């Protein structure tokens, strides 16, 4: 898949399951929801690390999750 789409797929779980519930829990005063969001923000730390590592890969480059290791393979190198 293209690096631009890969980045979106990497960051979405951390935002949907982490940031949004954390903010909603703080706004509503619900500690359980805030804790749920905080937990998933920590769990998504690896995803944010991958996002940081592919930050300079061109958006049109081809990227694939590595089948056995943490990370991804970039098939078409390019720096924006």
- State how many domains the chain has: 1
79 within domain boundaries: no
User: What is the tens place of the pLDDT at every residue in 14-40?
Assistant: 999 999 999 999 999 999 999 999 999
**pLDDT 10s digits, 26-75:** 999 999 999 999 999 999 998 999 999 899 988 889 999 888 888 888 88
Q: Which domain holds residue 30?
A: 3-74
Convert 43-73 to b/e letters by CB count within 10 Å (16 or more is b): ebeebeebbeebeebbeebbbeeeeeeeebe
In a domain, 55, yes or no: yes
- The model's pTM: 0.79
In a domain, 15, yes or no: yes
Residue 5 predicted with pLDDT over 60? yes
Model confidence at 6: pLDDT above 60: yes
> How is 14-56 classified by DSSP, letter by letter?
HIIIIIHHHHHHHHHT-HHHHHHHHHHHHHTHHHHHHHHHTTT
């Amino acid at each position: 898949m293209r690096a631009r789409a890969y980045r979106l797929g990497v960051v979405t779980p951390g935002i949907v399951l982490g940031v949004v519930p954390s903010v909603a829990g703080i706004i509503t005063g619900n500690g359980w929801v805030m804790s749920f969001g905080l937990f998933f923000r920590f769990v998504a730390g690896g995803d944010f690390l991958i996002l940081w590592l592919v930050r300079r890969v061109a958006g049109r480059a081809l990227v694939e999750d590595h089948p056995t290791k943490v990370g991804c393979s970039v098939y078409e190198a390019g720096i924006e």
